[in-house]
Amino acid sequence: MVRFAEKRELILLTDRPPQLETPLRYFRQDLTPNEAFFVRWHVAGIPTHIDTRVFRLQVDGHVQRPLSLSLDDLRRRFEPVSVIAIAQCSGNGRSLFEPRVQGGQWRQGAMGNALWTGVRLRDLLEAAGIRAGAVDVSFDGLDEPPLASIPDVVKSLAVDRARESDVMVAYEMNGEPLPMLNGFPLRLVVPGWYATYWIKALSRVTVLDRAFEGFWMAKAYRIPNNPEGAEIPDHLAADTIPINRFTVRSIFVRPEPEEPVALGRPYEVEGVALDYGAGIRQVEVPLDNGVHWADARLDPELGKYSFRRWRYRWSPLARGPNRLMVRATNNDGVGQPIHHWNRSGFMRCVIENVQVNVV
Ligand SMILES: Nc1nc2c(c(=O)[nH]1)N[C@H]1C(S)=C(S)[C@@H](COP(=O)(O)O)O[C@H]1N2
Ligand SMILES: [Mo]
């Protein structure tokens, strides 16, 4: 555990750059508090101070009127919008992959659910006037690689995705300015898509008349070309595409792994389910070794990009180690697989289990 500015004690993965994981217990709330929200940066040269009087967001490239917008301009000239959406790292749950894979060894806390407020990216692009022939839009933040050999973190979206009304430039998180470590003063919010696209300390939006070729799109964050980004260790996929929307998943929040649970006393099991925005329809737990499954109770829906919390009453009847399982299905009928793997530890969606100790 470690404590960074504006943060509570979080699980430390690395300190330069800061990579901090949210302890599971915070997912017993609908919204993840800013001070407990996970942190992930790729490069050590992160912004630690912003002069908000001189900060400008540039919107440039293949546009009719390049814009240079102050934070006041954003608030005054554009309609404010809000959405509850999960930010989830592509590698959330990576430490649970079998066989093990390289990369940050996150458990399930490389995600969080927040109310984001800001302006539609589409409105900014319209104000700048996208010119005919636009292909991609790239996003760059104020972080800088410490060495010239390390590629700057720049991501892109196809122009059609960038123009969808749910993509935002957010200046608030849970009703407050973004914490510095979560991208103050502005970040991109791409609901339903992995947080690799949610560029923090966003300072430049560039419309391109050709495909963006940067390292973080062309080389990193690529997945096998299928909906779960799955492949098998002995037969790695040759056809890869940039990672995009979330898989369907469901995790245990309580009990936590190896937690002692009292025999014969009803225990309220809790978890969260999520998907790419179709919405969670059903969460189930096995009754008799998985022959039949019973419905968990779903908490009220908070929006299609939000966590869907679930719970059920479990009566532990056998002393010793007990293994609980959970699976979710979304409104498109997409469920969860028994096996799921890829070399990068991305897009975890396998049916989860937790082992608890009944005493
Ligand atoms: N500028 C910038 N934005 C970034 C990154 C980064 O390294 N630099 N990392 C991305 C990745 S991979 C993730 S998972 C999220 C993490 O967001 P958080 O730190 O607010 O939780 O930020 C994204 N935005
Ligand atoms: Mo990430």
The protein residue with its alpha carbon nearest to ligand 1, atom 20, reads 182
pLDDT for the residue 1? 60
182 Cα nearest atom in ligand 1:
20
pLDDT for the residue 2? 65
Going 14 to 195 to 134 to 69, the CA torsion angle's sign is: negative
194 Cα nearest atom in ligand 1:
14
- The CATH number fitting domain 249-358, selected from 2.60.40.650, 3.40.50.10490, 3.20.20.10, 3.30.390.50: 2.60.40.650
Q: How far apart are CA 134 and CA 231, in angstroms?
A: 33
Side-chain half-sphere of 262: how many Cα atoms within 13 Å?
5
Q: How far apart are CA 201 and CA 139, in angstroms?
A: 10
- What does pLDDT average to in each consecutive run of 10 residues of the chain (359 residues)? 87 95 98 98 95 98 98 98 98 98 98 99 98 98 91 97 98 98 98 98 98 96 97 97 98 95 96 98 90 96 98 94 96 98 98 96
Beta strands per DSSP E along 230-304: 240-242, 249-254, 260-261, 267-274, 280-286, 293-295, 297-298
Residues with CB under 5 A from ligand 2 (ion): 40, 89-90, 196
Domain boundaries, the chain: 2-220, 249-358
Which residues' Cβ are closer than 6 Å to ligand 1? 37-42, 87, 89, 141, 143, 153, 182-183, 195-196, 198-201
Q: How far apart are CA 270 and CA 35, in angstroms?
A: 22
Backbone angles phi, psi at 215, to 5 degrees: -50, -45
The protein residue with its alpha carbon nearest to ligand 1, atom 6, reads 41
The protein residue with its alpha carbon nearest to ligand 1, atom 10, reads 196
Residue 104's beta-bridge partner residues?
Answer: none
Structure-block tokens of residue 243:
């990672």
Contact 328, 273 (CB under 8 A): yes
The protein residue with its alpha carbon nearest to ligand 1, atom 8, reads 41
151 CA to centre of ligand 1 in angstroms: 15
Structure-block tokens of residue 208:
């391109």
pTM of the predicted structure, to 2 decimals: 0.97
Element (H, E) at 76: helix 71-77
Q: Counting ligands in written order, which one lies closest to the CA of residue 344? A: 2
39 Cα nearest atom in ligand 1:
19
Side-chain half-sphere of 62: how many Cα atoms within 13 Å?
16
38, 190, 196, 197, best to mutate for ligand 1 pocket (most atoms within 8 Å of CB): 196
* Same fold yes or no, 2-220 and 249-358: no
Cis peptide before 255 (omega within 30 of 0): yes
Going 226 to 229 to 232 to 238, the CA torsion angle's sign is: positive
Backbone angles phi, psi at 149, to 5 degrees: -75, -15
208 CA to centre of ligand 1 in angstroms: 22
The protein residue with its alpha carbon nearest to ligand 1, atom 14, reads 89
71 CA to centre of ligand 1 in angstroms: 21
pLDDT for the residue 287? 86
1 CA to centre of ligand 1 in angstroms: 20
Domain spanning 2-220: which superfamily?
Oxidoreductase, molybdopterin-binding domain (3.90.420.10)
